[in-house]
Amino acid sequence: MNENNMLNLQTYIVDFNKPLKLSSGKVLEKYTLKYETYGTLNKDKSNAVLVCHALSGNHHAAGLYSNEEKPGWWNNMIGPEKPIDTNKLFVVCPNNLGGCHGSSGPSTINPENKKIYGSDFPIITVSDWVDSQKNLMKHLGINRWKFVIGGSLGGMQAFQWSVQYPSMIENCIIIAAAPKLTAQNIAFNEVARQAIMKDPNWCDGNYLENNVSPNQGLALARMLGHITYLSDESMKEKFGRDLKLSKLNYNYDVEFQIESYLRYQGEKFVSGFDANTYLLMTKSLDYFDPIKDMGDMFISNLNITNAKFLVISFTSDWRFPPIRSKEIVKILINNNKRISYSEINADGGHDAFLMNNQDYFDVMKEFIDEACNGI
Amino acid sequence: MAFRKDLVQISSWIMPNTKVLDLGCGSGELLRILQQEKNIEGYGIDNDINNIKMSLKNNINILQFDLDNGLKDFESNSFDYVVLAQSLQVIKNPQELIKEMRRIGKEIIVSFPNMGHWSSRLQLLFRGMMPITQSLPFKWHDTPNIHLCTIEDFLIFCKENNLNIEEVLVTNHKQQASLFTKIAPNFFGQIATFRIR
């Protein structure tokens, strides 16, 4: 609890009644965002940081609630004297629209008809998230983010911020991301979606209404996803060909440790995640392509921003490998942006962005501290 | 730490308000000074994580790239200067890199330790061993320096590759230009810095 006091962890829910026009053309008349904050907003509101979460993340990025075993997903990064230092910075982390941890999403009630949204919840894009986050920013009275920071899908939101609201962002940290997905990335997402949609309990997305859940499908989707978040190296190191029992049984039960681990990950995941949210998040990943979507606006807005960029990739990440992060770097260099890039030596795969790594933390800390001079 | 003489020379050659790319920038010292004193815009490239951290601390734009993979991410003629300060000797394909530097920069600046210095010559002549000097302190088996050359070698290289030498500065072990380094640069010079168009 003491650490939470130092962190100044606060949780809020805010209702927005102004309609949000979405990329799809649909409109969300009303919506709710749940978010956490850490640290304290200074007088001139110049120390605010937006942390954007990834596919399976949520607003609970740091701190530990009394009923929890594990702290928030980025507790190693956010806190007093951590790289995102809450002694200096005021951090805001919302649950994305379409999520399943308190913000409006497919598992919440549609205020129009008082029924669970289910498949009626519109698809939300990265650009829509940025719009909703901008509304949250206005709600908090913040005019400019000192930093927008995110990894993976969160990194894409940070990148989008810099071109969607180029004058509202001072520093942009894009970790383990890409300017768009490849066919292979989309292919993995499609298999995940098929796993969910082929589950007999999916009920065309209206499973909650029918009091069932496509848990098998969601677990499979998560297992597949999980493989792509790890590296061959880290799997070898963690599991190798270790057996659960001492010998082979020549049947189809769990025999290798990796099988057991994946099944456990799948089962654990379904207890806290909504299948429709998973579908939505993978779709917004697939759709993400600001350079194409924004056309000339992309370059003209990039020219407007004074933001300083930091792009980070990890050597063993094959979901969004360094070469993909370098695509972002190249665009920024060739548009004369202030940008630094680091390729962190790590064998944790894509998930390395969530793991402890001294080089990674040092690079983050040096960049953030330098940018915080004067706060 | 004293500012390296070749870096002082290089910074004196760089005009204010220009755009500079510094290859193998180390802790970003050159760019930091140029940013403060000449209001340049610039990027440094280095592949050592500790140099990345120090460069971030120095508030310069630092890119963790491997120079041996080339500079294809940079557009042609996009910089006023491309600098390669005392890193020429660690590059796998110096000819290709210098060609790339010329493509990107209007002017290029290259400095390197001179293998023709008298102490290197004497060590090889009398001791029959690979030279170990102040600027080249490594043993033959653990050196990162794989493409060492003399000033004479580099002059020939420039001629063969149609590189126009605008200016040369050669300094001795005290990082100074002396009468000796002027009379016989390839014998008395320890570091040579070339400005090329």
Host domain of residue A357: 2-181+289-372
Mean pLDDT of all residues in B43-47? 97
Strands B61-64 and B41-46: parallel
Both A261 and A302 in one domain: the answer is no
Boundary residue ending a domain (A267, A282, A297)? A282
pLDDT tens by residue, chain A, 375 residues: 456 678 999 999 999 999 999 999 999 999 999 999 999 999 999 999 999 999 999 999 999 999 999 999 999 999 999 999 999 999 999 999 999 999 999 999 999 999 999 999 999 999 999 999 999 999 999 999 999 999 999 999 999 999 999 999 999 999 999 999 999 999 999 999 999 999 999 999 999 999 999 999 999 999 999 999 999 999 999 999 999 888 898 999 999 999 999 999 999 999 999 999 999 999 999 999 999 999 999 999 999 999 999 999 999 999 999 999 999 999 999 999 999 999 999 999 999 999 999 999 999 999 999 999 877
Q: Residue B1: is its pLDDT beyond 80?
A: no
> In the structure, what pLDDT confidence band is assigned to residue B174 with cuts at 50, 70 and 90?
confident
Backbone angles phi, psi at B81, to 5 degrees: -135, 140
Question: CB of B62 within 8 Å of any CB in chain A?
Answer: yes
**Nearest-angstrom CA–CA distance, B197 and B194:** 10
The predicted-structure confidence for A205-220, as pLDDT tens digits, reads as follows 999 999 999 999 999 9
Residue A140 pLDDT:
98
Q: What are the respective helix, strand and coil percentages of chain A, to the nearest 5?
A: 40, 15, 45
Residue A290, C-beta contacts closer than 8 angstroms, at least 6 positions apart: A126, A127, A159, A160, A163, A164, A179, A180, A298
Mean pLDDT of all residues in B132-141? 88
Give the CATH number, domain containing residue A193: 1.10.1740.110
Catalytic residues of A: 152, 317, 350
Kindly identify which residue of chain B lies nearest to residue A328, measuring between CA atoms.
Answer: B73
Both A120 and A161 in one domain: the answer is yes
CA atoms within 13 A on the CB side of A282: 22
Both A37 and A147 in one domain: the answer is yes
State the DSSP H helix or E strand holding residue B170, giving kind and residue range, or none if neither. strand B165-171
- What ipTM describes this predicted complex? 0.94
Q: B5-115+145-196: which CATH topology?
A: Rossmann fold (3.40.50)
Mean residue pLDDT across chain B:
93
Question: CB of A171 within 8 Å of any CB in chain B?
Answer: no
Q: Decide if A204 contacts A315 (C-beta within 8 A).
A: no
Domain total of chain A: 2
Residue A3 pLDDT:
65
* Mutate which: B25, B35, B59, B74, vs A, most A CBs within 10 A: B59
Both A35 and A60 in one domain: the answer is yes
Distance (Å) of CA A109 to CA A14, A47, A211:
15, 35, 15
The predicted-structure confidence for A71-118, as pLDDT tens digits, reads as follows 999 999 999 999 999 999 999 999 999 999 999 999 999 999 999 999
Q: Residue B2: is its pLDDT beyond 60?
A: no
Both A147 and A221 in one domain: the answer is no
Backbone angles phi, psi at B13, to 5 degrees: -85, -15
Residue B153 pLDDT:
97
For residue A309, the one-letter residue type is F
Q: Quick check: A340 and B73 CB within 8 A?
A: no
**Nearest-angstrom CA–CA distance, B111 and B45:** 16
Both A216 and A351 in one domain: the answer is no
DSSP result, B79-133: EEEEEEES-GGG-S-HHHHHHHHHHHEEEEEEEEEBTTSHHHHHIIIII-S----
Q: What interhelical angle do A358-372 and B49-57 show, nearest 10?
A: 10
Question: CB of B55 within 8 Å of any CB in chain A?
Answer: yes
Residue A188, C-beta contacts closer than 8 angstroms, at least 6 positions apart: A224, A225, A228
Q: Quick check: A326 and B78 CB within 8 A?
A: no
DSSP state of B15: P
Structure tokens at A198: 């082929």
Beta strands in chain A (DSSP E): 10-16, 20-21, 27-28, 31-38, 48-52, 78-79, 84-85, 90-94, 109-110, 115-116, 147-151, 171-175, 308-314, 338-344
Boundary residue ending a domain (A263, A282, A301)? A282
Q: Give percent of chain A with pLDDT exceeding 90.
A: 96
Mean pLDDT of all residues in B116-139? 91
DSSP state of A169: B
Q: Residue B171: is its pLDDT beyond 70?
A: yes
Residue A184 pLDDT:
96
The predicted-structure confidence for B14-42, as pLDDT tens digits, reads as follows 999 999 999 999 999 999 999 999 999 99
Kindly identify which residue of chain A lies nearest to residue B44, measuring between CA atoms.
Answer: A340
Backbone angles phi, psi at B135, to 5 degrees: -90, -10
Both A317 and A170 in one domain: the answer is yes
Boundary residue ending a domain (A282, A309, A341)? A282
**Nearest-angstrom CA–CA distance, A147 and A169:** 7
**Nearest-angstrom CA–CA distance, B19 and B35:** 10
For residue A185, the one-letter residue type is N
Both A191 and A128 in one domain: the answer is no
Give the CATH number, domain containing residue A158: 3.40.50.1820
> In the structure, what pLDDT confidence band is assigned to residue B136 with cuts at 50, 70 and 90?
confident
Q: Quick check: A363 and B52 CB within 8 A?
A: yes
Both A263 and A356 in one domain: the answer is no
Kindly identify which residue of chain B lies nearest to residue A336, measuring between CA atoms.
Answer: B41
Neighbours of A13 (CB within 10 A): 12
Strands B165-171 and B191-196: antiparallel
Q: Which residues pair with A314 in a beta bridge?
A: A344
For residue A247, the one-letter residue type is K
Structure tokens at A227: 């493989």
DSSP result, A129-151: HHHHHHHHHHHTT-SSBSEEEEE
Both A232 and A120 in one domain: the answer is no
Both A215 and A96 in one domain: the answer is no
Residue A229 pLDDT:
95
Both A118 and A177 in one domain: the answer is yes
* Maximal CA-CA distance, chain B: 50
